[in-house]
A and B are shown apart, each in its own frame.
Chain A
Amino acid sequence: MDLGVLAQYIMNGLMLGMMYALVAVGFTLFFGVLDIIKFSHGDVVTVGAFAALATFVSLRSAGIVSSPLLLLVMVTVALVAMAALGMLIARYLVLPLRTAPALNTLLITLMLGTVLRESVRLFYPQGANPKPFPALLPSSSINIGQFNLRLDNAIMLAAGVLVIVGLQFLLNRTKLGLAIRAVAQDEETARTMGINFTAIVLVTFAIGSALAAFAGIMNGLYYNEINFGMGLYLGVIGFAAAIIGGLGSIYGAILGGFLFAALQTIGAVALPFASAYKDVFAFTVIIMFMAWRPTGLIQEKISERV
């Protein structure tokens, strides 16, 4: 295989890895602060992408044609709307179930995911069909040897890196981030430090859900198409990525996302005659990995020294 094609595969893998990582980070954040798995997370990705598309459609019908402006408003609306949705889910579905067994939370968020997915299918105009997503980023490209670097991909990748760097800064360098990490380690002691636990949970769900919206828009811009089932697929992969990374670890989730994309890419390259099987290949490797290391790459809950 020549280098240009290989570079193309790597670029594709990086794009997918970035989306998976952004979804996986949400799973790991929610697990960190509340020790729960929120299964509706993938469908928040879908709702985020459709919220962006609806914003686009209404802005266009209002006569706005500037691509950067459209994109800016779409991203803002989708992120804010999903942050609000995440907080609502936390406040009215997840927090009231705190004293119930964890399985109940899992079940209720699984059902919520179905409700979100079916709502998009039924209530969005022609929601059952795949929807074209506007290509709003410059589509010019640079040829580096045989490798064709598309500008829109480069911009998306850079934006994703910025988001992750920003998240790292928020978690590691701000007072809010310190509070989130404290709650994740020891909820009760964090409360006795004067941290408002409920507020921190809501903020965490807002952050995770906004990241999901970002991933949804990225997905739409990359494939130029979205559909009501996209989040289910991204959710399962994001969940798997968070588990491989060691649930609760941010770095692990990011690593897990890129690892899964790498497996898919390897699957596609190594099995050119059967590239449709790349997901089968990737998930098989993940299953074997889980059997080998059940706690994931980065073990989060370390035993305390007495």
Chain B
Amino acid sequence: MTGRLDIDNVTTAYDKADVLDGVSLTIEPGRITCLLGSNGSGKTTLIRSILGLTPPRAGRIVFDGADITALPTHKVIAAGIACIPEGRKVFPKLSVEENLRLGAYQEPSEDVTQERMTEIYRLFPRLRERRMQLAGTMSGGEQAMVSIGRGLMRAPKLLLIDEPSLGLSPLFVKENFNIIRQIKERGITVFLVEQNVHQTLAIADYGFVLSKGKVVMQGTADELSKTKEVHEAYFG
């Protein structure tokens, strides 16, 4: 099983409100690992650091034994990581199909790309119906499907999912979590960044809590959901 990510004492300055101060955590292969934390705790900065969008000032990020700390983003992706970004970030003026194709940008074989696209369309039949529509003209829920499908087109070893339920209707949020569970069943390691503690801990195997740029707590999902501090921090 591959998809192991070791983050070792990473310090990153993104903007003043959202920094990492010596974060260490490990994402074990084949599991859903979640990262909880309020706004400004450094969650997005951690994702940016892993992807090489905001390279860390100090520390090391190791993916399946290879140091990816100083790599440019396209090489991080080439190592087998994909991302479903916060706010979905579909390309608004590209069609659904073009968006999906970009997910498999580094896949040289057209046959493999087609195969994966067929699979995505099986998962989201609605995307097949709308494959020629410009992604920017779709509803939030549909854009979320495009964004998830695009991330899966890469067939990654590790999938980073940043705030998937932000701005979606409760019904779709529920569906989203079902899909994440299915992704894990395909053997893809998932790193899930969320604010929706209850539903996140229901599907996650292990979790970390980030506060003011530091990991303040970690444990299995069961342990975390019983922890007083997590409850206090999120449910008041």
* Interface residues of A, Cβ cutoff 8 Å to B: 175, 178-179, 181-182, 185-186, 188-198, 302, 304-306
Name 15 A/B residue pairs within 8 A (Cβ), A-sorted: A178-B94, A178-B101, A178-B102, A181-B94, A189-B91, A191-B51, A192-B51, A192-B73, A192-B83, A193-B103, A197-B73, A304-B92, A305-B92, A305-B136, A305-B139
User: Shortest CB–CB separation between residue A119 and chain B, in angstroms?
Assistant: 34
Q: Which of B82, B93, B98 contacts A302 (CB 8 A)?
A: B93
CB distance A186 to B140 under 8 Å? no
Q: Which residues of B contact A191 (CB under 8 A)?
A: 51, 53, 73-74
Contact with A along B127-148 (1 / 0, CB 8 A): 0000000001111100100000
Contacts A190-B102, A193-B105 given; does A306 touch B77 at CB 8 Å = no
Q: A181-B93, A194-B74, A305-B137 are in contact. List 5 more A-B contacts (CB 8 A).
A: A175-B105, A179-B102, A192-B83, A194-B78, A194-B106
Of all chain A residues, the one with the shortest Cβ separation from B103 is: A193
Give the interface size bracket for B toward A.
20 to 34
Contact with A along B41-59 (1 / 0, CB 8 A): 0000000000101000000
* Interface residues of B, Cβ cutoff 8 Å to A: 51, 53, 72-74, 77-78, 82-83, 85, 89, 91-94, 98, 101-103, 105-106, 136-140, 143, 150, 154, 167
Q: Which residues of A contact B93 (CB under 8 A)?
A: 181, 185, 302
CB distance B94 to A185 under 8 Å? yes
Q: Which residues of B contact A194 (CB under 8 A)?
A: 73-74, 77-78, 105-106, 154
Of all chain B residues, the one with the shortest Cβ separation from A198 is: B72
Q: Which of A175, A196, A302 contacts B92 (CB 8 A)?
A: A302
Q: Which of B85, B101, B106, B138 contacts A189 (CB 8 A)?
A: B85
> In the docked arrangement, what's the CA distance between A190 and B92, Å?
12
> In the docked arrangement, what's the CA distance between A304 and B83, Å?
20
> In the docked arrangement, what's the CA distance between A190 and B167, Å?
22
User: Shortest CB–CB separation between residue B88 and chain A, in angstroms?
Assistant: 9
Contacts A178-B102, A182-B102, A302-B136 given; does A189 touch B89 at CB 8 Å = yes
> In the docked arrangement, what's the CA distance between A191 and B73, Å?
6
Q: Which residues of B contact A305 (CB under 8 A)?
A: 92, 136-140, 143
Of all chain A residues, the one with the shortest Cβ separation from B99 is: A182
Q: Which residues of A contact B106 (CB under 8 A)?
A: 194
